[in-house]
Amino acid sequence: MPTTAPAFSDATASDSALRRFLFGLPGVDAVGLEARAAALGTRSIKTTAKAYAIDLAISMIDLTTLEGADTPGKVRALAAKAVNPDPTDRTTPRTAAVCVYPDMAATAAAALAGSGVKVASVATAFPAGRAALDVKLADVREAVAAGADEIDMVIDRGAFLSGRFLKVHEEIVAVKAECGSARLKVIFETGELSTYDNIRRASWIGMLAGADFIKTSTGKVGTNATPANTLLMLEAVRDFRAATGVQIGVKPAGGIRTTKDAVKFLVLVNETAGEDWLDPHWFRFGASSLLNDLLMQRQKLSTGRYSGPDYVTVD
């Protein structure tokens, strides 16, 4: 993918050009956005459609462990769960990926070899992003060399919030160049961007810079994925494809814990971006605790009984 879509090549020619472009985007009607997200969240699906939605949501999960206490054993256990989420039912779909720190990418890659489950790795001084560019790029190179299929990078929120938009764009371009064949997810940390207008601007910076996915959050701050901020990002990728022909994925992360939550987000995808995004290649959940609830609801649909949390593994 080119670093900037041809239709918008002039937008990133200079700091002032990018600023004009970003501030020329339509302002976000916050009340309307939240009302539409809430209305779509009231949609109800039953029986066969619910079973389909549960399996689809499982297949879209990036099963994640990003803790200082991570060990190779924990990563291998998580990889086993990703490949076989419900040992009592081999028809259960695999998750999309396992997401780890770069120093655990090799362990994850070895555990997932041949499974079809991707190795994702956070990078660029996750979660704060407070590091020099050469350190961030080394972080990416380490993860890719260790076997990461996907890189989840964080933007420099300090640069963004101080109006240095071209710096944010150039860092994403540089990271994308280090990814090689690995797909790049760009994390905005929407809870720190303060306004919906900022989320829209960050979305366009990420897309113009060559992101393969745009992602709401790290899951490490108080406000993470919400229906409203995800709806806004879905509108952005829809509009970007309409203008350029380039499709970009969306990943809400943090705070999505129940099957009911997941279904609400899938409805948002279908009604906003469209069916083309209802695929793990284009939509992901960064929500590890969600998997257990999906498994329990799946078991209830197949057996008529609600097994409870003791019947699914924590990791």
Asked if 251 is an active-site residue, the reply is yes
Out of 62, 139, 152, 293, the active site residue is: 152
Question: Which residue in the list 62, 215, 261, 264 is annotated as catalytic?
Answer: 215
The first and second tokens of residue 265, run together, are 């987000």
Q: Of the candidates 70, 57, 69, 56, which has an alpha carbon nearest to the alpha carbon of residue 105? A: 70
Q: Is 185 a catalytic residue?
A: no
Q: 49 — phi, psi (to 5°)?
A: -65, -40
215 catalytic residue (yes or no): yes
Catalytic, out of 251, 261, 264, 293? 251
What region, left, alpha or beta, does residue 116 occupy, with left being phi > 0 and alpha being psi -120 to 50 degrees?
left
**DSSP states along 140-202:** HHHHHHTT-SEEEEE--HHHHHTT-HHHHHHHHHHHHHHHTTSEEEEE--HHHH-SHHHHHHH
Q: Are the beta carbons of 178 and 141 closer than 8 angstroms?
A: yes
Q: How far apart are CA 151 and CA 183, in angstroms?
A: 6
Give the residue numbers annotated as catalytic, written as ranges: 152, 215, 251
